[in-house]
Amino acid sequence: ANESVPCSPFPIVPGYQKSELCNLTLQNGSPWFCGRPRKQELTCSDYQRVSYWTKCIAMPITTAEDVLLKQRTG
The Cα 64–Cα 39 span in angstroms is 37
pTM of the entire structure?
0.65
Q: What is the mean pLDDT of residues 44-73?
A: 77
> Residue 21's beta-bridge partner residues?
35
Q: What is the pLDDT of residue 51?
A: 60
Name the residue ranges covered by the structural domains of the chain: 7-73
Q: Are 13 and 34 in contact (CB under 8 A)?
A: yes
> Residue 35's beta-bridge partner residues?
21
Q: What is the mean pLDDT of residues 10-19?
A: 91
